[in-house]
Amino acid sequence: MRVSLPMLSLLFAASCATEPTDAAPTVRLTHLRGPLWIAEDTFFAPENSMVYVGERDVTVIGATWTPHTAQLLHERIAEITPLPVRQVLLTNYHQDRSGGTAYWRRIGAAVLATRRTEKLLELHWDRLIRDIRTTFPDYPVLPLVHASQSIAEDTHLQDGGIRTLYLGPSHTEDGLFVYFPAQRVLYGGCILKEQIGNLDSANVKEYPRTLRRLVALGLPFDCIVSGHWTPVHGPELIDTYLQLLASREDATGAESGRSTPAR
Ligand SMILES: [Zn+2]
């Protein structure tokens, strides 16, 4: 494959955001608070998912990139608890949140998605696989594996310990926030991060409105876990991202370059 200079710089930017370039990709778990752990999956464009170790079983927030990264995460979970993984929640239809679905279903976990996410998976899966392989040629050609259970957009899991929130289009049309009320933590997934990221599937008009709806809810979280780059932030990450969206609009008025693929 011929690799152009711009593509080389894309690959470099993607691979060095959270890891030294010579480090082999890994999946690692770091404890956050109470039942909450952060899973850092440094394959492809590094992503952060979450793990909730409940009293009876484990819920994984985000299926991770591929069946292989899902298996690695499962191995890390087995090191911290003997409890089984029973539920895996897809927070949007992109492969960094849904690519590991086949593995989780194979081990008998329920893979949960909203109808909106299921519909987008069906519409865009094959195209997204082609797109991602132009940036990451070693990303596997995975067939679409559907979620096993439809959920409402405001679902409660783990006896209310986990709440999903859909507040409108943002980075994708279907992106969910996940709120952990007892720990005062919000998982922002692909929606909230320290860089603008990939807006290829974004609804840039609705994105700030969705973030303002989140602020208007007044949820008392004091920690936001981001789906890309540095995982742990304070609530100011919402303002940071609103400013990134606003300055992008000021600078271009239209489309920006694709500076950070697949995030
Ligand atoms: Zn993402």
> Residue with structure tokens 């003997």?
82
Rounded to the nearest whole angstrom, what is the distance from the C-alpha of residue 263 to the centroid of ligand 1?
Answer: 4
Whether residue 253 has pLDDT greater than 60: no
| DSSP string computed for 139-201 | S--PPP---SEEE-TT-EEGGGTEEEE--S-SSSSSPPEEEEGGGTEEEEETTS-SS----TT
Q: How far apart are CA 51 and CA 207, in angstroms?
A: 26
- Tell me the pLDDT tens digit for each residue of 85-122: 999 999 999 999 999 999 999 999 999 999 999 999 99
The DSSP output letter for 24 is P
* CB neighbours of residue 59 within 10 Å: 23
Positive or negative, the CA dihedral 58, 63, 64, 69 is: positive
Q: What is the pLDDT of residues 19-30, one digit of tens each?
A: 445 689 999 999
Q: Is the pLDDT of residue 6 over 60?
A: no
Helix (H) or strand (E) holding 124: helix 115-135
Average pLDDT over residues 181-197: 98
Separation CA 189–CA 12 (nearest Å): 22
Which of 56-65, 117-126, 243-252 is least confident? 243-252
CB atoms within 10 A of CB 130: 10
Segment 130-149, tens digit of pLDDT: 999 999 999 999 999 999 99
| Fold designation for 5-252 | Metallo-beta-lactamase; Chain A (3.60.15)
187: which strand partners?
A: 178, 225
- In angstroms, what is the span from residue 64 Cα to ligand 1's centroid? 10
Looking at residue 258, its pLDDT comes to: 47
Q: How many angstroms is it from 169 CA to the middle of ligand 1?
A: 14
Residue 4 CA, ligand 1 centroid: distance in Å: 24
Is 37:30 a contact under the CB 8 Å cutoff? Answer: yes
* pLDDT over threshold 70, residue 194: yes
pLDDT at 2 over 80: no
User: What sign results for the dihedral spanned by CA atoms 27, 28, 29, 32?
Assistant: negative
Share of the chain above pLDDT 70, in %: 88
Distance 226 CA to ligand 1 centre (A): 10
Kindly state the average pLDDT of the residues 175-184. Answer: 98
Identify the weakest region by mean pLDDT among 29-33, 160-164, 258-262. 258-262
CA–centroid distance, 63 to ligand 1, in Å, is 12
> Distance, CA 172 to ligand 1 centroid (Å)?
9
Distance in Å, CA 1 to ligand 1 centroid: 25
Quote the ligand 1 centre to 165 CA distance (angstroms): 17
**Residue 225 and residue 185 in contact, taking contact as beta carbons nearer than 8 Å:** yes
CA dihedral 250, 251, 257, 258 (to 10 degrees): -50
| Cα-to-centroid distance, 71 and ligand 1 (Å) | 19
Q: Kindly tell me if the per-residue pLDDT of 34 is higher than 70.
A: yes
Pairing of strands 85-89, 110-114: parallel
| Mean pLDDT of the region 162-170 | 98
